[in-house]
């Protein structure tokens, strides 16, 4: 396009074209949609420095997310296959969202939307960029998404000197509260207790398994240690029951995607 020539589209429309290209629309599709030609679309893309999304990275993100979500939910309840209610509820919800009579989401969109109803999967949303597969980003504002600059909250460390058992007890109770309410702590007794808390919310079942291994290796203990150990095991059992209860999905109010 020569200098001084009138442009076909307004600045807002050109930005819209560039944004759609960045979101995955092909140049051919944009040409047909806006009734223009390749040189015009090419110029708009270059001027707005729009880049094609990394499809391979997006696919790898959703595949890894689904794999880890499946693993976490599978280990939420012990027992036979039929006892794993959270896992099967999640699978069923994905099928509902994919169905033509449902929301008609793609598989990736259904996985993301279904996973939002399970607090134990909240940590995964921070680790993976799922924006390309999120059909309704505003549906669960309590979930902290990948790349959210405001998600990092400073936690005040009280610097309390305490035993492993005391740190473990705090971590389990605080993790249970987080899984139930989604609210993170604003203070912690010490760095060790906060580290244990982070491990607990990242993968509760794996964390509980590791705690059990540590407990089984404990040799001779004082009477106080035995009482603390018994209390910790009771807390673990209670947390498992809590996880099983709170991971039942809430009523989802999904809206259809804009055509």
pLDDT digits (tens, 9 = 90+) for 158-216: 988 988 889 999 998 888 887 766 677 889 999 999 999 888 877 777 788 888 777 77
Among 140-144, 226-230, 233-237, the range with the most confident prediction by mean pLDDT is: 140-144
pLDDT value at residue 74:
87
d(CA 179, CA 91) in angstroms, rounded, equals 21
Q: Does the pLDDT of residue 151 top 50, yes or no?
A: no
Is there a contact between 76 and 244 (Cβ–Cβ < 8 Å)?
A: yes
Residue 157: phi and psi, rounded to 5, are -95, 125
Residue 99: phi and psi, rounded to 5, are -65, 145
pLDDT value at residue 255:
40
> Closest by alpha carbon to 62, among 159, 128, 9, 106?
128
pLDDT value at residue 242:
56
Q: Does the pLDDT of residue 252 top 60, yes or no?
A: no
DSSP classification of residue 140: -
pLDDT value at residue 250:
47
Residue 131: phi and psi, rounded to 5, are -55, -30
pLDDT value at residue 241:
60
- Assign 237 a pLDDT band (cuts: 50, 70, 90): low
Render pLDDT for 62-96 as a digit per residue (tens, 0 to 9): 999 999 999 888 887 777 888 889 899 999 999 99
Instruction: Give the residue ranges of DSSP H helices in the chain.
Output: 11-22, 27-34, 38-47, 55-74, 85-98, 107-115, 122-127, 164-181, 191-202, 204-216, 223-246
Q: Does the pLDDT of residue 108 top 90, yes or no?
A: yes
d(CA 142, CA 147) in angstroms, rounded, equals 15
- What is the phi-psi region of residue 162: left when phi exceeds 0, alpha when psi lies from -120 to 50, beta otherwise? beta
- Assign 107 a pLDDT band (cuts: 50, 70, 90): very high
């Amino acid at each position: 396009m020569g200098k001084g020539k009138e442009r076909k589209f307004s600045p807002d429309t050109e930005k819209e074209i560039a944004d759609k290209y960045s979101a995955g629309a092909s140049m051919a599709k944009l040409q047909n949609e806006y009734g223009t030609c390749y040189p015009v679309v090419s110029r708009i893309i270059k001027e707005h420095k729009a880049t094609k999304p990394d499809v391979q990275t997006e696919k790898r993100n959703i595949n890894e997310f689904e794999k880890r979500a499946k693993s976490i939910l599978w280990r939420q309840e012990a027992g036979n296959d039929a006892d794993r209610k959270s896992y099967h509820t999640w699978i069923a919800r994905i099928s509902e969202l994919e169905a033509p009579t449902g929301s008609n989401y793609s598989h990736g969109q259904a996985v993301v939307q279904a996973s939002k109803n399970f607090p134990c999967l909240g940590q995964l949303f921070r680790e993976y960029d799922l924006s390309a597969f999120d059909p309704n980003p505003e549906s669960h504002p309590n979930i902290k998404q990948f790349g959210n600059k405001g998600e990092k909250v400073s936690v005040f460390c009280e610097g309390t000197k305490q035993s492993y058992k005391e740190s473990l007890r705090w971590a389990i109770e605080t993790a249970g509260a987080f899984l139930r309410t989604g609210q993170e702590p604003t203070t912690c007794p010490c760095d060790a207790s906060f580290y244990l808390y982070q491990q607990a919310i990242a993968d509760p079942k794996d964390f509980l398994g590791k705690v059990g291994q540590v407990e089984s290796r404990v040799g001779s203990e004082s009477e106080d240690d035995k009482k603390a150990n018994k209390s910790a095991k009771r807390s673990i059992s209670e947390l498992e029951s809590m996880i099983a209860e709170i991971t039942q999905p809430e009523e989802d109010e999904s809206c259809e995607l804009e055509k």
